[in-house]
A and B are shown apart, each in its own frame.
Chain A
Amino acid sequence: MTTRPLPRGTGAMRRTTGLFILLALLCLPWADIAVHTLAPGRELGRLAQGLLWPQWPTTRTLADAIASTLAFAFQGVALGAIAGFGLALLYRRRAVRWLAASLRAVHELFWALLFIQLFGLSALAGVLAIAVPYAGIFAKVYGELLEETDPAPRQALPANAGRLSSLMFTTLPQAWPNLAAYTRYRLECGIRSSAVLGFIGLPTLGYHLESLLRQGFYAEAAPFFYALLILIATQHRWCRGWMIPAMLLAALWWLPPVAPVNGALIWQFLTHDIVPAPLRSGMDALPWFMDLWQGQLWPGLINTLVLAMLSLVVMGLLGVMLFPTVSRLFGNRWTRGLSHGVLVILRSLPEYLLAFIALILLGPSMLPAIIALGLHNGAIIAHLIGQYSNTLVLRDDAARGLNRYFFEVLPRQFRLFLAFSLYRFETVIRETAILGMLGIPTLGFFIDSAFAEFRFDRAVMLLVASAVLNIAVDSFARRIRQRLHLQHKVQVC
């Protein structure tokens, strides 16, 4: 019998959890979590009624929206995968890692705002908006997958076998199943991203959802809602094998990624519009920057952090509370089935859409954003932990019910829970910034307003700030994971 060399784990885990909860409580006084609508219950009733009795649009409208959603997703993910693979081959270089980190630190909606300035509301803008951040994500994940392959076959090759042959004969075949699985999974995220791009004007499902929900036409919005749900929830069934290249070709035919390119305009945007105003006119830069800092950067950063901390804790609580409902260690077939259904819906719908709906019901405050982020991410955590808990083997005389949950299962799953939650931290921060575009004064709110006012220099400055925040949070979360020896790998968007 051997003693397993294990870290000073449990105390540190408890302290970290306590610290996060404490931070969230300290954030509470700064958070605006009021309900601003007069009758949220009545509005919810109307929404439910609309969902139960949908009003069908013309088949053409619905089919167009579905086709465009898929077209943006497939082209964006494909382009992102190709570019990401190229970067992954050079992932050992620090510069490439930094490039990839900054590409993925900016949310696809922000990229879309930028590319719309350059290429108008065109197919190219939408495809690039997905492809660019995804390239950063693919670069990281592909890079790690390639690195994890067994080096022995590579070393066994003849000394002067070229790098390309070495890649094609040893590294790539080993990593292929993982690369393919991850890319397929990423397509699901691509469909979500593509739908969300509709909220800023691209012709996807989100476009119709935005305009119909905003006007309170819930019954008319319902079909688009269901279409999105079904697309995402069934994606892993139809999106496989030869369907993928076929869909990609169809996507290129349906929505050729072209745009009216106006060289002069792009040149002006890059060399003039985004250059900070004082640099352009030779004024003193400090007052300009202080104005931006006090009016937008600082409040935006604080609100983003406050909202993210609260959402993270709500996510954790929901995850911990919901995972037993899908675990085979609890309940029966019916309760698990029902719970699975609810979690699939919450996981499939993008946070942005959930927040948009919650905002209509509750009015503009942080509350809808917390609910949306908490529900979506909490459902993901609950699903993952629930799956893992099915592999636990308990003693014949193990306790049942709450005793089983608190003594047998939760302690065993806590390490995993913490690892997953920390992985979600970066996603939550990214999404928090973006929810600003719905009117919550996080960084995204100020970025969106800057674009609306054509003050691109400010917009870019704020974008850089949000990217830096993402990178900082990511490395902070990674450091905690290392400190707590949480090595579980999860890649979920």
Chain B
Amino acid sequence: MTGFRLQQAALTVGGQAVLHDLDITIRPGERVALLGESGAGKTTLLRALREQQPNCIAWCPQQPGLVPVLSVFHNLYMGRLDQYATAYNLLNLIRPTPARRREVTALANRLGLGDQLWKPVEQLSGGQQSRINLGRALYQQRSIFIGDEPVSAIDERQGADLLALVCDLHETVVLALHNVDQALAHCNRIIGIRDGRVAFDSPSDQLTSADIKPLYPSDAS
């Protein structure tokens, strides 16, 4: 399993450069948190990382993109659409097989969604949908997890629990977070982004709140 490497990279969105002079290498086994104000370019950076090896990554975007009329089971199952034959997928769409049913039920229980397994996700709350989104990424069973604010819509205690689970199940983890405490608690490396550049990139145990504060100038007052 390889890591990621960006050298002297500039990332653009719709023709506009959002991030400049990126020199980032992420090695297998690292747990990286991206910090920065909203709009700083964290999502853009995560997208660029994903594109480097899209087939090895458990992807958890900020917009869940769930299919509203399908059940929790199906939305979780969708994480593995590329791993099974199409015919098998269709079979599971119409009538879930016992093996997948067992796996997904266990996962749903772990997410606290065991009772809702057969409900259409449009009937669930935003927090529950956010957990399904995370669950779909877990169900992919990859070695790398990339998550864009994966627990921001989930209450703090459960969020911490799920982040620990993510870190347990994946060798490499890259997260965009806005909760600084969560970043420090679960990750061993923090990349701070400000003004379209990497402001700092250091192990989390060497950071103090004074280092992190300048990332959020609008909170300064």
Contact = CB atoms under 8 A, between A and B. Distances in A.
A6 to B, nearest CB: 5
Contacts, number: 70
Contacts of A394: 65
B86 A10 contact: no
Contact of A1 (B59, B122, B127): B127
Contact of B86 (A1, A397, A402, A414): A402
Nearest to B86: A402
B69 A10 contact: yes
B123 A399 contact: no
A122 B82 CA distance: 65
B11 interface: no
Contacts of B69: 9-10, 13, 411-412, 414-415
A406 interface: yes
B89 interface: yes
Nearest to A13: B69
A37 to B, nearest CB: 38
B50 interface: yes
B93 A399 contact: no
Residue from A9, A394, A398, A403 having most chain B Cβ neighbours under 10 A: A403
Contact of A399 (B63, B68, B78): B78
B90 interface: yes
Interface string A391-425: 00111111101110011100110110000000000
Given A2-B125, A396-B50, A407-B70, A9 B120 contact: yes
On chain A, which size bracket covers the interface?
Answer: 20 to 34
B81 interface: yes
B65 A3 contact: no
Contacts of A396: 47, 50, 54, 59, 61
Given A10-B69, A10-B120, A394-B65, A406 B126 contact: no
A411 B67 contact: yes
A1 B65 contact: no
Interface in B98-157: 120, 122-127, 130, 153
Contacts of A13: 69
A333 interface: no
Contacts of B124: 3
Nearest to A398: B65
B194 interface: no
What range describes how many residues of B lie at the interface?
20 to 34
Nearest to B84: A403
A58 B81 CA distance: 61
Contacts of A415: 69
Nearest to B66: A395
Interface string A364-406: 0000000000000000000000000000011111110111001
Contacts of B125: 1-3
B189 interface: no
A489 interface: no
A332 to B, nearest CB: 20
A244 B86 CA distance: 52
A412 B67 contact: yes
Interface in A1-58: 1-4, 6, 9-10, 13
B74 interface: yes
A397 B153 CA distance: 21
A120 B50 CA distance: 74
Contacts of B50: 396-397
Contact of A407 (B59, B81, B127, B153): B81
Contact of B81 (A2, A393, A399): A399
Contacts of A2: 125-126
Most chain B CB inside 10 Å of its own CB: which residue of A3, A6, A407, A414: A407
Contacts of B57: 397
A415 B122 CA distance: 13
- Interface centre among B63, B65, B93, B124, by most chain A C-beta atoms within 10 angstroms, is B65
A4 B122 contact: yes
A403 B74 CA distance: 12
A489 to B, nearest CB: 20
Nearest to B47: A396
16 contacts: A2-B126, A3-B123, A3-B124, A3-B125, A6-B122, A6-B123, A9-B120, A395-B61, A396-B50, A397-B54, A402-B90, A403-B89, A406-B89, A407-B70, A411-B67, A411-B70
Interface of A: 1-4, 6, 9-10, 13, 393-399, 401-403, 406-408, 411-412, 414-415
Q: List the 8 shortest-distance A-B pairs measured between CB atoms, nearest first.
A: A1-B126, A395-B65, A399-B81, A397-B59, A403-B81, A3-B125, A402-B86, A411-B69
